[in-house]
Structure 1
C-alpha cells in the first residue's frame, strides 16, 4: 500500500488563525477608536445633570402657574403683597398665604416646594429672596442649581433661573 502525502503548501492551506501583524493592527485600530470616543462619553454625566436641572425648572414653572391659577380665581388671594391664608397646596391641606399671587420662596407662606415634587434634589431656602434646588454630589452644588425667586411685584411672575456652571 502506497501512502500519498499532500504537498506542504496544500497542507498549510487548511491551517486557520491570525498572524501577529493582523492582531497588532486590529488592537491599534481599536485603541484609536477608543481614544476618540472616550471624551464624548466623559461628559454624559454632566449633560444628564443639566437635563435634570432643566426638567426641574420646567416643573417649578408649571407648579407656580398652577398655584397662580388657583390664586387668580380666589378673590382674597389675588391681591398685591401678602394675601390672607386662603390657598391649600396639593401636598399640604393647610391654608397658606401667597405673595403677589404666587408661591413664596421662603417658608413663611405657601412655599413653592409644597406645589411640586423635587426628589433627587436638595433644597436651601435660607435666603429670603430665593429658594435654591441643587444636586448635592456635583463639583460645585451652588452652581449646579435652579433658583426660584418670589414675585417681586404684583402682576410680575417669579423668576426661575438655571445655573449649570458647576455641574
Structure 2
C-alpha cells in the first residue's frame, strides 16, 4: 500500500479561512493612504514656503537692500515687502518656484494671504502663506489646515 502525503481538503480550507480573516483586519489599515500622502505633501509645501521666504530675506540682507526692494534668486525676481516675499505669484511663488498647486487669495483676510490647494482640491486641506506686514506679522506665517485631507 502506497502512502500519499499532503494536505487534506479540510486543512486547505482552514488556511484559506484564516488568510481571509487576517486580510479583513489588515486591509483597512493599508487601503486609504491618500490622506497621509496629502498631509505629507502639505507639510513639505509649508517647509518650502518657510525656507524660500527666509532665503529671500537673507539675500535681501546680504544685498544691503531695504524692506521693499526686490531680490533675484536663481534668475527669478522676487517682490518683497517688510523684508520678506509678498503673498503673490511674483513673491513667495517665485521664490519657492512652486507650480504644482492651485493658488488663491484669501478673501477678507486682514493681511495679504495666499492659499495653496492640492489639485484636485479638497475642502479644509490646504497651506497658507500670510505675508509679513512689519507690525502684526514681523515675519511671514505659514499654516497648514489638514482636517479634510
Query: TM-score normalised to the size of structure 1?
Result: 0.75
Residue ranges of structure 2 left out of the alignment (5+ in a row):
none
Paired position in structure 1 for 2:134: 153
Task: Write out the 4+ residue segments of structure 1 that deviate beyond 4 Å after TM superposition.
Answer: none
Give the Cα separation in 2 of the matches to 1:147 and 1:126. Answer: 9
Pairing partner for 1:135 from 93, 112, 118: 118
Deviations 1:16-65 (A, max 9, x none): 44322112111111011101111210232211111111111111111000
- What do you get for the CA RMSD once the two structures are aligned? 2.3
* Bigger CA radius of gyration: 1
Paired position in structure 2 for 1:121: 101
Give the Cα separation in 2 of the matches to 1:90 and 1:143. Answer: 33
Deviation at 1:115, TM superposition (A): 0.8
Deviation at 1:164, TM superposition (A): 0.8
Q: Which moved more, 1:119-128 or 1:57-66?
A: 119-128
Residue ranges of structure 1 left out of the alignment (5+ in a row):
1-9
Paired position in structure 2 for 1:166: 148
Aligned residues of 1:59 and 1:116 also touching (Cα < 8 A):
yes
Aligned residues of 1:67 and 1:103 also touching (Cα < 8 A):
yes
Deviation at 1:157, TM superposition (A): 0.9
Paired position in structure 2 for 1:68: 57
Give the Cα separation in 1 of the matches to 2:79 and 2:97. Answer: 20
Paired position in structure 2 for 1:37: 26
Note closer, same or farther for the CA distance 1:134–1:50 as it changes in structure 2 (3 Å cut): same
Q: Which moved more, 1:53-62 or 1:152-161?
A: 152-161
Aligned residues of 2:79 and 2:91 also touching (Cα < 8 A):
no
